[in-house]
Structure 1
């Protein structure tokens, strides 16, 4: 049966396959073609068992397709197959080029739809009991790309370092020394920082420290991309919860004894 050419941009969530939405699963089941990225767990492709699966992501800077080629593939496959699902990690509207791909598809006459995903900028921190806002600690948060399209550190990091907000930096590991230096210049050497690699996945790794100590912790644990950097007093909440749970368990054990 002929289908009108359509693109649905779908957020796959931060990595854990259970964190994809029901609406995203519905889109995958209806797909004729799925174009998926490197950060997408391929287990999710089982929801699109009758569709053609095409890997269009990048690994360690190696591109299987350039962005222009992906745009062309979306249009050509939609015209020949029908419903194309562009499956992207996290939320496609948070540094995901989802908006660019939708614009290209719409300009070529495709019906377009967006299914939001759970963004890593919030969920990865939350999965480690780190809230991005907390009453008395942080009234707001910044979400910043660590590397601009010119491959430079975003100037927004410099502005964020002057604030009292929680700062969440995506794609920033290669710029960590510069980030650390900016916060030190603002007198924030003792500010807590967490770096979470492969957040919500089985191979997740986390490093906790301060602006002063985090580079040594990164070296010790060999932390690298894909990782999220979280800077601010809210990072302390993780240990606060651990301590409260430990004390509660100790009291309960004592009562039972």
Structure 2
């Protein structure tokens, strides 16, 4: 008997600005029967899915959110009803979005799944700062995407990451800015350029340009809100200036 199940699309909504949606994302949203949307996604995204039932599954730092297992069972339930399900995540679903868990779960349950990429917040943050994450003049030949928030609450090996010489794009690190800075200072000078971009690409965006040595103190003083992306590395030199002055907040 032919499988009558529907299909799940894992869609990246980007960092917040709906104009950063891809044409493919807009097309898929228009065909969706069900929209399962994370909290960090602009609710106006529902306007691109006029016939879809909207289900909100919030995931915000420090707030109670829908358990991952519940979200996966929700996708399975609607797909088994033959519906087209759009699972919409902030940023890119393949970048710290638990897409691996969801893809495996759906495959194990015989449900077709396809991914539509979105702009991840590190790229939006760099665009906001008008800096390149790679830069030949500063020896930045790569970018390392890393989360400061592991499932077992352990910290990454910051010293090893710092020694790699890449630009570091640190997700979910704002609440651990002191720990992050201390770990990186084991291998990097305090004068290393650093920046924090909160709510990148949205009307609420805030930018803090600083140095690694001042990172934790400046984040506290500026009361930077979450979600925020921390960038560290020589490629940010143009954002902080040649003389590496004391931190300056840019509204």
Q: Distance in 1 between matches of 2:161 and 2:231?
A: 12
User: Is structure 2 residue 135 aligned with structure 1 residue 130?
Assistant: no
TM-superposed deviation, 1:105: 1.2
Equivalent in the alignment of 2:52 = 51
For the 8 Å contact 2:209–2:240, the answer to whether it is kept is no
Verify the 8 A CA contact 1:153 1:175 in the aligned structure 2.
no
TM-score of the aligned structures, taking structure 1 as reference length: 0.87
| Superposition deviation, residue 123 in structure 1 | 2.4
Cα gap change, 1:38 to 1:69, in 2 (>3 Å): same
Instruction: Please say if residues 57 and 65 of structure 1, whose CA atoms lie closer than 8 Å, have aligned partners that are also in contact.
Output: yes
Describe the SS at the equivalent of 1:167: strand
SS at match of 2:141: coil
Q: Give, in angstroms, the shift of residue 240 of structure 1.
A: 5.8
Unpaired runs of 5+ residues, structure 2, are: 243-251
Tell me what 1:153 maps to: 155
Equivalent residue number for residue 254 of structure 1: none
What is the match of residue 139 of structure 1? 141
Deviation digits for residues 172-216 of structure 1 (CA, Å, limit 9, x no counterpart): 112211111122222411101001110111110111111122222
Q: Which has the higher helix share?
A: 1
User: What are the residue-to-residue correspondences of 1:146-225 with 2, within 5 Å?
Assistant: 146-155=148-157, 157-225=158-226
Q: Distance in 2 between matches of 1:165 and 1:60?
A: 27
Q: Distance in 1 between matches of 2:133 and 2:56?
A: 33
Structure 1 gaps, min length 5: 242-257
After TM superposition, the score normalised by the length of structure 2 is: 0.89
Where does residue 27 of structure 1 map in the other structure?
28
Distance 1:202 1:187 in 2: 33
Distance in 2 of aligned mates of 1:128 and 1:43: 26
Separation in 2 of the partners of 1:60 and 1:215?
Answer: 18
Root-mean-square deviation (Å): 1.7
CA distance in 2, matches of 1:183, 1:98: 28
Distance 2:188 2:98 in 1: 35
